[in-house]
A and B are shown apart, each in its own frame.
Chain A
């Protein structure tokens, strides 16, 4: 079973599917349950930048990113996470295959 995660908790380069859109604002930007997104930039508990299927890039601040629930479809091999707060700027490895987008 695939786990539901916040979009800012998914490694950069991942392909994800939206499970729940947390606000009307995100709906106005064209996101809905089932939308597929490419995570371009993400910081755990921080902001995120995602690319939508039509090619648009959407910037999410920390609150908006934390409210957007997704299921990772593909995670890049050796996806790297930056974890400044936890004092480990090094990599945390996630399982997964190459990028899809």
Chain B
């Protein structure tokens, strides 16, 4: 008889290298899906071992089985009541206390459990030893020392999972709760459940239909021991300390290193953090430049136009060249950026640098309404918003992740800066430096305003909850499993956001070759008169009355409407509308714009619209409703700030 697939929940403490372990176990692809009703991502991988299919479900990292944070609450719910054959607890040998604390709670559930102690190589170098036999004896489970980075222990884990009958349930009563034991037994009998479920129900960490019966038991227990949460936590930590003393001889932490002392400094730490973040982001984007150029050049060699011309139909040819092929090349040209941002984010997150960089800046960022971990993603967004938004999946808090994804489109990306540079060069050549700094200053104001509006009005974001965690060790995470993880991230972006990006480009093509009167034809793409009659031309016309009062002519307003497709096409559209080559635009803009109008246009261009690909990535990270609200908010803020700039500049001009 064929054996069914084995379902394994992979639970672990934050910064235990759990995702590196999952990457090391997986093949080339990982299936990622949102947990029902949340924006919390759950990864699922399928492996075959010993002729048996094993489904590993990678849960968000958590310290315990109760939490106010959305991600950890999902992990707790799945561990407590999910349908799994085996619970795989991934801990860190660098953090034996937190590992044991989570493990003891999982053991109380009385299900087949395996402990993986990751980062053994690193712990060994720092003088931490592990007496695995002592731990196995006390807990009654299999303990696997492992280094996911080097691959040590991976084979043994696979073999163990292929034979689930050999996985013991462990010592359910590893913690002695003293006077509370009788109440736990009573609750377990009333619920016909494990000890762990009974404890979770008594403390309110798990809400069950039989709540009233348990509440009465909990009331009696509280009258004897006081706060159940404090009493139970205290007993667990006492057991943890005994276990660590017995199984981790010589496990003591070293003092903070020099780099830690430099970064974790309230005086100059913020400046050092900003410099390190800027240097890292800048070096990645500089390294990416040639890759993007090579890819663009290589794509240019593919004779799609020549092949499409054989169709003998101008509209079909345009659909293939300007629609489908344009969508595909756009997606392909994003890949180096996506890989670069994934590399940057994974490097900063996995090295433990993120905490050290975010902590000194937290108070400043908090004043701006930016989540402390969000800064690195926003800096990455200065190259291209899309991969930065997609990368926010690595932020542990659901609220911070969504808010960061919504704030990134306010950061001016490279194509927006190109438009701004052209305007500045045309109208204020002597002030180009200041003009290019202006968008960042305006973006900062807009981020502060929008984060408050979004954070205080959107229930979908959830409430902020206090966040505390153990300082992870500082490591250099360059190894095979790390690169595989970066690849998984890139692949996931192509698979999920890629389809939307290509689809949007094709839709935008359709809107630029058709109008209220029907199909206008591909000629509209190069003819200013026809372009005005298309849907996009009509939309551009709608911008005109809005921007005309601040001295921005129709041609520029209409071209900006194309920014909703991609900012890269704005200059091309502007050239078509003025009937010029892009080289002649400087003169045209210089003649069309006054200084206050130019400054207002720079402010408006900074974040008036995300492009379609950004909208697709944003919707995937934050949901369609919040994306729509945020897109409208961006437009309103950009308009209000542009008007303010125009009138303020007018007073001085």
Contact = CB atoms under 8 A, between A and B. Distances in A.
Most buried by B among A24, A40, A84, A85: A24
A55 B264 CA distance: 17
A32 B230 contact: yes
Interface in A20-62: 22-30, 32, 40-43, 45-47, 49, 54-62
Interface string B520-556: 0000000000000000000000000000000000000
Contacts of A23: 68, 465-466, 468
A82 B64 CA distance: 34
A61 B470 contact: no
B467 A45 contact: no
B359 A28 contact: no
B363 A59 contact: no
B194 interface: no
Most buried by B among A32, A41, A64, A67: A41
A78 interface: no
Contacts of B364: 84
Contacts of A41: 264-266, 269, 359-360
A61 B467 contact: yes
A78 to B, nearest CB: 15
Contact of A57 (B66, B256, B269): B256
Given A54-B241, A59-B469, A82 B67 contact: no
B253 A56 contact: yes
B266 A59 contact: no
Interface residues of A, number: 35
A89 B267 contact: yes
Nearest to A66: B466
Interface size class of B (residues with CB under 8 A): 35 or more
B95 interface: yes
B233 interface: yes
A20 B495 CA distance: 48
B325 interface: no
A89 B267 CA distance: 8
Contacts of B366: 46, 62
Given A28-B101, A30-B101, A56-B470, A47 B362 contact: yes
Nearest to A34: B234
B372 interface: yes
Contacts of B363: 43, 45-47, 62, 84-85
Contacts of A47: 359, 362-363, 372
A58 B233 contact: no
Contacts of B471: 49, 56-59
B63 interface: yes
B469 A58 contact: yes
Contacts of B464: 63
Contacts of B372: 47, 61
A68 B362 CA distance: 17
A49 B468 contact: no
A83 B465 CA distance: 25
Given A57-B471, A62-B362, A28 B63 contact: yes
A17 interface: no
B97 interface: yes
Contacts of A62: 362-363, 366
A12 interface: yes
Interface string A57-101: 111111110010000000000000010110001000000000000
Nearest to B473: A57
B237 A32 contact: yes
Interface in B55-91: 63-64, 66-69
B576 to A, nearest CB: 50
Contact of B264 (A24, A30, A49, A60): A49
Contacts of B258: none
B267 A82 contact: yes
A49 B264 CA distance: 8
Contacts of B224: none
B256 A40 contact: yes
Given A24-B229, A32-B233, A32-B234, A61 B264 contact: no
B120 interface: no
B470 A59 contact: yes
A58 B589 CA distance: 56
A57 B253 contact: yes
Contacts of B233: 24, 27-28, 32
A55 B467 contact: no
Interface in B102-149: none
B605 interface: no
A2 to B, nearest CB: 22
Interface in B438-478: 464-471
B326 to A, nearest CB: 44
B229 A25 contact: no
A28 B466 contact: no
Contact of B266 (A30, A43, A45, A60): A43
Contacts of B241: 54
Interface string B341-369: 00000000000000100011011101000
B98 interface: yes
Interface in B264-297: 264-267, 269
B468 A61 contact: yes
Contact of B362 (A12, A25, A46): A46
Given A27-B229, A32-B233, A61-B362, 10 more contacts: A24-B233, A25-B68, A25-B466, A28-B63, A32-B230, A46-B363, A54-B244, A59-B470, A59-B471, A84-B364
15 contacts: A24-B64, A27-B229, A28-B66, A29-B98, A29-B468, A30-B98, A42-B266, A49-B471, A54-B244, A56-B470, A57-B256, A61-B467, A64-B467, A64-B468, A84-B363
